[in-house]
Structure 1
Amino acid sequence: MGFMTHCLRPRHAASAVAAAAVLATTLLAAPAMAQERLAPAAGSSRATLTDGTQPVVVVTLGSVKKLMDDVSYLAEITSQPQLAMFPMLAATFTQGMDMDQPIGMLVPLVGGAPQPIVVLPTKDIRPILKRLEAQTGPVDELDDGTLVLTVNQNMLYIKQNANNAVAAQNQAALALAPEDAGDLFQGMGNNYNVAIRLQVQQVPVEIRNILIDQLRQGFEQTMAQQPDAASGREVAENSIAQLERLVQEADELNIGLNIDKANKQVALDLSFTAVGGTQLAAVYGGQQSIPSRFASVIRDDAAAYLHSATSISPEAITQAKDGIQTSLSMIKGALENEGNLTEDQVNEIDQYINRLSDIVTESLSEGKADMGALVMAGRDEFKAVIGTFVADGNKVAELAKDLATKVPDSPDAPKFKFDIGNFSGVTMHLIEADVPASEDEVRKLFGDKIQVHIGTAPKAVYVAAGRGSEELLKEFITSGSSDNGGDRPLGQFKMKLLPFMELAQSVEANDNVAAMINALTNSEDKGEVNVTTKSIPNGSAMKLTIGEGLIRSIGAAAMAGRQAQQPF
């Protein structure tokens, strides 16, 4: 008996269906392996310090007024009244500051060491320090007007600099701050509550090399402690090489968090760029939006959808292929060292893994990734459909058929039906599994049978599940020829929490879920989460937004939980 047959002895039907789902998920997720994971978005700045250099790190906080307003809004939508104390505390310690200007910190390298410089928007720092004297102690003044105080046994130097006060632990660093630091805060400041910019190329090459050496040293120490170091070494070395490229070729990373009361959402922006002309920049430069066969998943009535359609650069393809081969070597090494498998069993597993790898590699070689996923949900409703581009859908069908032969023919095993029809050039297949009577919650979702519909076309694979999913799948297939591209993000994800909560409540009632449904029903956005990625010169940008409705629903659930714990 082959190993695959041994593994698939029925314990219950759901396990085999899960295996089929893993295979489908691997195919659908594979195109993303060709793209780097970093993403991001705040405005770039090439302003300099007074010595002509740029800070390695810039950090900004929104103005005191913005922070007070936004935290008050957050306290209200989260039902956390303790947050409302922040404006009162802030007002106590910020008298004398310009309430409309952002607070910043510049971190240049001075003598090879980082020297943070705090920039406070105030025309006169002295009254502020006087008011804090009980906490900080008396303030001394040097001959040049620099103020000095001791905080936790550390000397802090402060100097008035036009409409700002600057503070640093290194007195010489104060002179590096320009009178107007606004250009250094470009794209940050009041655009966000908190924003961070890291300019990697401002770190000297020597220091970056030290970092890489430390990473390698840590890698060697970790590998030496592993019982099976050989099988994982190639993967780890490949990871170290990618980290080295990242450290040497990265240009700028931006992160910004904004509590956006006007648009009733919390937003996180990320942006990453590589140095122009580098291999890393070429990877990002190859990412451009393309027409999609699966764009119909982008619809307003969806409970959730995920879509991505992008070109892939030759550099990214090569990198992804190398990563796949390295991973295969590691998997094979792990199987050989398992000890419980015969050589024939290892070879059998290796054969299937290599076939799947070939499908993924051939798809990547065509230089594009295109996929879409859609979930429709609500009270007593759940159905989902996924589609992805592949170089040869017939090879996927052949692999699935061969795997199906390894499933023993027993009453509780899933039933595979291949080539049962053709719809618009897509060959249809079906996997069915009985749901045990004891699985009441699963039966409420899927009925007494779980049906997974699979479609294979020359250049696509489709999977659908849930009651009514066959019609949804056919609609999805039919709409594939209607996309004309257009200005679209590289990738986008959208989810509404309300339909999922309604689904959960219909399966099993819960007071906390009921509280969330009530809050979501009364909200404008119904608990919306959005993620978009787009291409920028030499880099990528991502934006995550969380709607007010979702935040209010979490607060409502927390309040319901607290009330349930209170004695009557």
Structure 2
Amino acid sequence: MGLWNQLVRPFTMARSTTAMVAGWVACVAITMSPAIAQERLQSGSAPAAAANATEPVLVVTLGSINKLMQDINYLTSAVGQPQAGGMFTMLAGTFTQGIDMDMPIGVLVPLVDGAPQPIAVIPTTDVKSILKRLEAQTGPADELDDGTLVIAVGVNTVYIRQLGNWAAMAPSKALLDLAPADPTTLFNGLGNDYDIAFRLQMQQVPAATRGMLIAQIRQGFEQAMEKQDSADAEATREIADGTMKQLEQFINDTDSLMFGLNIDQPNRNVSINTSFTAVAGTPLADIYGGSKPIPSQFASVIRDDAAAYYHAASSISPEAVKQTRTTLKSTISSLGGALENEDKLNDQQRADIRAMVDRVADLAIASIEEGRADVGALLLADQNDFRFVFGSFVADGNEVAQIVKDLAAKVENETDAPRFKFDQSTYKGVTMHMIEADIPAKEDEARRAFGDTLQVHIGTGAKAVYMAVGRNSDSLLKELIDNSTLDQGADRPIGQLKITLLPILKYADSIESNDTITAMINALLAAPDQGQLTAIQDSVPNGQSSVIHVGEGLLKAISAAVMQSRQGNGGNQF
């Protein structure tokens, strides 16, 4: 059974606190590798501790019972389902006696003879009392001469050993010899920092084992490619082969991966943290290590009054440029094959589209080759107001304008084609253009949002392109240009996103109101925040980290929408 299944199974089994404790026991037995023979209760024998074993490749933790109870009570109350948290607390109080309520629970997964083998570690000084209370689920425990406890879970056998303040559980008695007397040092950065977390140490996996994994994936890739009989099979193979090479690089060069989910009561949000590091000196480390914050032309989109903004500005390493160039070229090649198979296009149309795509790709590659990425987007919204502006660094803004001009010439005789107005004015070195399109009378919501005519403002500078949509959004575009020289530092994350739901909902309500929007607005007006979602990406040595925060207001708004939907379907509740 694969490593992922070994990881997931304990949590899918933990449907209640009873199942959570019993599940850690059962999962160890159920996920037992065929490499270790099942040892039945009657034998009482155990093989010698495995000599060919690694340090834990994977460490999975659940927060302490007290933390889980408090956090689940908070979360279920926040989403209007306090009874669910109360049920969890009741079951936890009943079935976790004997467990240290303030220490995390963990699963350690070393490789034994190349196969992952899970060892559960429970914080308790008296595992016998826990097993006694679980006899209805597991049956009574047997005790071997050395004090090892043995229980049968279905057709499987689980071995348990008391190790000081911890108890270890495994599908083989030999595995218990690998359990540390104190696993807390393995929990650093996990444990009670999160409600659930894991860390994968890829370099603990022997190179031969990683090679076998890559070979299996490549075999599946080759089998899939053999089934490709379309005209663009060669282009598809080129893209897939590039993806396979990147995956192989990822498996070989990754040092560690970490994931953590935490219900954060003090800050009233749910957070998801991830981090990735590559082995120093590898091409993958060069890719991520070369990504650093840089001064930005578009940092002014980071505004407290924004309904939403996105900003990213970072250097790009030569290795990343090389990899991106290869990926883009493969993608364009595949698109060319797809165009050849498009029956609705004539030869001239195919040629025109391919030429346009090639120009866009060439511009994208040229921009990447300058070794930097810089982009910003801003949405301002409230009742009866919607404005969006976007800006990005490009290698040649004049080429952007020429591409759009050439496109306009191609479609000017098409029915319902938009109207292009080029070179209308110049503002601080940026040439202004506009695209207009009439909105059909039947599109009531679109007309209320944009008026009878949709206007898209475009600005092209020497090294930048701008776009703005919404009534009077041209002023917002000029404001972005005005502020383009203000950010001269780089003391910020390489990427960040923030969405605030309430102003977006208020604007949607002014366009077309309904009961669900009203319910969500009312929930947000009573919430501690306006429905915020934030995401931050930053560089770390040889890697990157990210954190996502989901505010309590957003949780309440989603819950209100679900409840309103259920009421509309007959009043069904959770």
Q: Fold conserved (TM > 0.5)? A: yes
2:56 aligned with 1:55: yes
> Is 2:53–2:112's contact at 8 Å kept on the other side of the alignment?
no
Structure 1 residues 211-263: Cα deviation after superposition (integer angstroms, max 9, x where no partner): 11111111121122223222311111111111111111111110000000110
2:68 maps to 67
Structure number with higher relative contact order (C-alpha < 8 Å, ≥ 6 residues apart): 1
What SS does the corresponding residue of 2:484 show, helix, strand or coil? helix
In structure 1, C-alpha distance between the alignment counterparts of 2:186 and 2:247, rounded to whole Å: 28
Q: CA–CA distance in 2 between the matches of 1:319 and 1:111?
A: 35
Distance in structure 2 (CA, Å) of the matches to 1:541 and 1:101 = 26
Percent identity for Structure 1 against Structure 2: 54
User: Contact between 1:257 and 1:266, CA under 8 Å: does it hold in 2?
Assistant: yes
Q: Is the counterpart of residue 301 in structure 1 residue 343 in structure 2?
A: no
Which amino acid in 2 is paired with 1:104?
A: G
Matched, 1:517 2:521: yes
Q: Distance in 2 between matches of 1:473 and 1:407?
A: 26
* Alignment partner of 2:501 out of 493, 497, 500: 497
Show the counterpart of 2:387.
383
The answer to whether the 8 Å contact 1:50/1:177 transfers is no
Matched residues in 1 for 2:415 and 2:208: separation? 66
Preserved CA contact (<8 Å) 2:235 2:330: no
Q: 2:172 aligns with which of 170, 173, 176?
A: 170
Q: What SS does structure 1 have at the residue aligned with 2:267?
A: coil
Does the 8 Å CA contact 1:115/1:170 hold for their aligned counterparts?
Answer: no
Q: Residue type of the partner of 1:369?
A: A
TM-aligned CA distance change 1:137 to 1:347, over 3 Å? same
- 1:550 pairs with 541, 548, 554, which one? 554
User: Does the 8 Å CA contact 1:258/1:267 hold for their aligned counterparts?
Assistant: yes
Match of 2:91 among 73, 86, 89: 89
Match of 2:40 in 1: none
| Residues 555 and 217 of structure 1, relative CA distance in 2, 3 Å threshold | same
Residue of structure 1 equivalent to 2:438: 434
Q: Give the secondary structure class of the aligned counterpart of 2:410.
A: coil
Residue 265 of structure 1 contacts residue 545 of structure 1 at CA under 8 Å; is this kept in 2? Answer: yes
Q: Deviations over 1:266-315 (max 9, x none)?
A: 00001111111100000001000000000000000000000000000000
CA deviations over 1:405-448 (Å, ceiling 9, x no partner): 11234773311000000001100000011111111100111011
Partner SS state of residue 176, structure 1:
coil
Match for residue 328 of structure 1 among 332, 353, 358? 332
Letter in 1 for 2:57: V
Paired with 1:341 and 1:303, the residues of 2 have a C-alpha distance of 41
Output the CA distance in 1 between the equivalents of 2:352 and 2:448: 38
> 8 Å contact 1:231–1:334 — kept in the other structure?
no
Q: Amino acid of the residue matched to residue 323 of structure 2?
A: Q
Matches within 5 A, 1:90-489: 90-228=92-230, 229-339=233-343, 341-409=345-413, 412-489=416-493
- TM-aligned CA distance change 1:116 to 1:302, over 3 Å: same
Q: How many residue pairs are counted as aligned between the two chains? A: 519
Deviation string 1:519-566 (CA, Å, 9 cap, x unpaired) is 111222200000000000110001000000010111122223334445
Please give the alpha-carbon distance, in whole angstroms, between the structure 2 residues aligned to 1:386 and 1:108: 48
The amino acid that maps onto 2:354 is D
Query: Normalized against structure 1, the TM-score is what?
Result: 0.89
Q: Secondary structure at the match of 1:481?
A: coil
Output the aligned Cα RMSD: 1.6
Counterpart-to-counterpart distance in 2, 1:141 and 1:431? 80
> Which amino acid in 2 is paired with 1:147?
L
Shift of 1:87: 1.2
Residues 53 and 113 in structure 2, CA contact (< 8 A), matched pair in contact too = no
Gaps of 5+ in 1: 1-48
Out of 94-103 and 518-527, give the one that drifted further: 518-527
Distance 1:403 1:545 in 2: 41
* Cα distance in 1 for residues equivalent to 2:325 and 2:438: 39
If the length of structure 2 is used for normalisation, what is the TM-score? 0.88
Distance in 2 of aligned mates of 1:169 and 1:240: 35
Q: What SS class does the counterpart of residue 491 from structure 2 fall into? A: coil
CA distance in 2, matches of 1:511, 1:528: 21
The residue type equivalent to 2:375 in the other structure is M
CA contact (8 A) 1:51 1:176 kept: no
- Structure 1 pair 50–207 and aligned structure 2 pair: CA distance change class (3 A): closer
* Contact 2:313–2:373, Cα closer than 8 Å, also in 1: yes
2:38 corresponding residue in structure 1? none
SS at match of 1:226: coil
Secondary structure in structure 2 of the residue aligned to 1:480: coil
Find the aligned partners of 1:258 and 1:199 in 2 and give their Cα distance: 21
- Deviates most, 76-85 or 388-397: 76-85
Secondary structure of the equivalent of 1:534?
A: strand
> Structure 2 regions of 5+ residues with no counterpart?
1-49
Q: Displacement of 1:142 after TM fit?
A: 0.7
Classify 1:481/1:179 alpha carbon distance in 2 versus 1 (closer, same or farther; 3 Å).
same
- Assess if the C-alpha contact under 8 Å between 2:61 and 2:198 holds in 1: yes
C-alpha distance in 2 between matches for 1:452 and 1:324? 28
Equivalent-residue separation in structure 1 for 2:296 and 2:387 (angstroms): 22
Amino acid at match of 2:307: A
State the 1:342 CA deviation: 4.4
- Which letter does structure 2 place at the counterpart of 1:125? V
